[in-house]
C-alpha cells in the first residue's frame, strides 16, 4: 500500500469566516498534520496568509499566496488537493485547479453552479457563463445561459445543473462527504475519477457564540416562547410549506418562526411565496456569515433539512449536529446514512403534509428533541471526526504521490 507523502499542497480559503468548508478544514488540519505531514497551504492573498497561523493551529502548515504558488514550479511535483465549495471565497481554488490539473478535488458542495456564475456573470463576463453551460450541457445549456441573461432564471438550477465538469476532467481523485455523492458523480456524463468518502468534521459553535436566550434576542425573538425552525440554504421552499401548515393546524408549532440562510434569505420569489402563504411575518432572513450561523444554531429548536436530493450536501447537517440541534431530514444523502437515533427521517416520497406533521410532533416532544441532539453530537465526536477524515485524506494523497 502506498505511503502518505511527507509534504503536500492544499489550496483552500482556510482563513475565511464566511465559508463553512473553511471551518471544516480548520478542524481537520491539526489531525492531518499530527503524523508529521507538512502542508503548504495556498491561500488567495497576503492578508489570508497572515491569518493562517491563527486559523490553522498547526506548526506543520506553511502559508503562501496563490501568486507565490504560481512562481514556485518545484511545488508541482507534490500531491495537490483543491478544496472546493459553492461559495465565492473558493473562486481562486477553482482557477488554480484548472491551471494545474492532475490533483485531487475535495467537493464540499456537489454543484459549484453559483461559484461559476459568480466568477462569470458576477464579473460581467456573460460569455464565460454561456461557455461553461454549453461545455456542460451543449445547446440546451447555452440557451439556458442566454435566458438567464434576459431575466428568466430559477434558483433551483444551481443544484440541478452542476458546473464541475471541467474540474472533474482534470482530477485524479475526488473526495466527497457521503456515499450518495459518489453515486451522483457517476450518474453524470463521462467517467468520473475515483472517489472516496470522508466524514464532514464540522466544529461546534465557537465559545464566543451566544447562548439560546442571547441568540434569540439578537434575532429579535421572544426568549423561549416561539418555536424556531432553521432551514439550510436550498430548503427554503419546503420549510415555508411546513411553516404555513404548522400555522394552519394550530398546536405547538402555530407560533413558529423560520430562519432562512444564504441565497434563500435573498430570494425574492421565496419572500413573495411567504406573503402568499400568510407567513411573511414569521420569516427571518439571515445571511451566511459564520457569526450569524452560530447565532442561528443556538436560537433554533429544530433543523429542517428538506433539501432536494441533488442539493443534499453534508456541511449544513454536520453543523447542526455539532451544535446539538435536532434535525428533521429526508431519508437520503448524508441524513440517510446516519444512525436513526441521530436524526428524524422522512421518506422522500412522503405526502406533502408529512413534513409538517413530523415537525409538529417534534416541537411537542422536547425530550425526544434533546435525545436527538445528544445522539447527533455523539456522532460528530465518534464517527464524523477530524481523525477519520484525515485517514481518508492520507489515503487519497498516497494515491496521488
Query: Three-class SS of residue 329?
Result: strand
pLDDT on residue 325:
97
Crossing angle between the packed helical segments 126-149 and 113-120, to the nearest 10 degrees: 110
pLDDT on residue 57:
62
Distances (CA, A) of 84 to 106, 164, 187, 229: 6, 10, 20, 28
First to last CA, the chain: 12
What is the b/e burial string over 300-315, where b = at least 16 CB atoms within 10 angstroms of the residue's CB?
Answer: bbbbbbbbbebbbbbb
Check pLDDT > 70 for residue 190.
no
Check pLDDT > 90 for residue 242.
yes
Compute the half-sphere exposure of residue 35: CA atoms within 13 Å on the CB side of its CA: 13
Task: Kindly give the pairing relationship between strand 257-260 and strand 173-176.
Answer: unpaired
Task: Kindly give the pairing relationship between strand 327-330 and strand 344-346.
Answer: parallel
pLDDT on residue 159:
80
pLDDT, tens only, 18-36: 888 888 898 899 999 988 8
Residues 6+ apart with CB under 8 A from 193: 168, 171, 172, 173, 174
Distances (CA, A) of 110 to 185, 290, 333: 8, 21, 12
Provide φ and ψ at 135, rounded to 5°.
-65, -40
Q: Which domains does the chain have, with CATH numbers?
A: 7-112+164-201+385-400 (3.40.50), 212-382 (3.40.50.2000)
pLDDT, tens only, 129-160: 999 999 989 999 999 999 999 988 887 788 88
pLDDT, tens only, 195-227: 999 999 988 888 888 898 899 988 888 766 789
Amino acid at each position: 500500500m502506498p505511503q502518505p507523502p511527507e509534504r503536500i499542497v492544499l489550496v483552500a480559503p482556510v482563513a475565511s469566516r464566511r465559508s463553512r468548508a473553511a471551518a471544516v478544514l480548520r478542524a481537520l488540519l491539526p489531525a492531518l498534520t499530527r503524523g508529521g505531514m507538512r502542508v503548504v497551504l495556498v491561500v488567495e492573498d497576503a492578508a489570508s496568509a497572515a491569518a493562517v497561523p491563527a486559523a490553522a493551529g498547526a506548526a506543520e502548515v506553511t502559508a503562501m499566496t496563490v501568486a507565490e504558488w504560481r512562481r514556485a514550479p518545484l511545488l508541482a511535483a507534490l500531491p495537490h488537493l483543491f478544496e472546493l465549495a459553492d461559495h465565492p471565497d473558493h473562486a481562486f481554488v477553482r482557477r488554480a485547479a484548472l491551471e494545474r490539473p492532475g490533483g485531487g478535488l475535495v467537493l464540499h458542495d456537489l454543484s459549484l453552479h453559483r461559484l461559476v456564475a459568480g466568477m462569470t456573470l458576477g464579473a460581467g463576463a456573460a460569455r464565460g457563463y454561456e461557455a461553461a453551460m454549453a461545455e456542460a450541457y451543449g445547446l440546451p445549456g447555452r440557451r439556458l445561459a442566454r435566458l438567464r441573461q434576459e431575466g428568466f432564471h430559477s434558483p433551483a438550477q444551481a443544484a440541478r445543473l452542476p458546473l464541475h465538469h471541467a474540474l472533474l476532467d482534470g482530477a485524479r481523485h475526488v473526495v466527497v462527504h457521503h456515499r450518495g455523492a459518489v453515486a451522483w458523480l457517476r450518474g453524470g456524463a463521462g467517467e468520473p475519477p475515483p472517489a472516496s468518502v470522508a466524514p464532514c468534521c464540522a466544529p461546534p459553535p465557537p465559545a464566543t457564540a451566544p447562548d439560546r436566550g442571547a441568540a434569540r434576542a439578537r434575532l429579535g425573538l421572544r426568549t423561549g416562547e416561539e418555536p424556531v425552525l432553521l432551514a439550510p440554504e436550498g430548503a427554503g421552499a419546503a420549510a415555508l410549506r411546513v411553516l404555513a401548515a404548522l400555522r394552519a393546524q394550530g398546536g405547538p408549532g402555530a407560533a413558529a418562526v423560520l430562519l432562512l440562510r444564504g441565497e434563500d434569505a435573498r430570494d425574492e420569489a421565496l419572500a413573495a411565496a411567504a406573503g402568499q402563504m400568510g407567513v411573511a411575518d414569521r420569516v427571518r432572513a439571515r445571511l451566511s456569515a459564520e457569526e450569524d450561523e452560530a447565532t442561528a444554531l443556538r436560537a433554533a429548536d429544530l433543523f429542517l433539512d428538506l433539501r432536494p436530493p441533488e442539493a443534499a450536501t453534508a456541511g449544513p447537517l454536520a453543523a447542526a449536529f455539532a451544535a446539538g440541534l435536532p434535525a428533521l431530514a429526508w431519508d437520503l444523502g448524508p441524513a440517510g446514512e446516519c444512525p436513526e437515533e441521530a436524526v428524524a427521517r422522512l421518506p422522500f416520497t412522503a405526502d406533502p403534509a408529512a413534513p409538517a406533521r413530523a415537525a409538529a410532533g417534534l416541537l411537542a416532544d422536547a425530550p425526544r428533541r434533546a435525545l436527538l441532539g445528544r445522539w447527533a453530537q455523539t456522532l460528530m465526536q465518534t464517527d464524523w471526526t477530524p481523525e477519520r477524515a484525515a485517514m481518508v485524506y492520507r489515503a487519497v494523497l498516497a494515491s496521488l504521490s
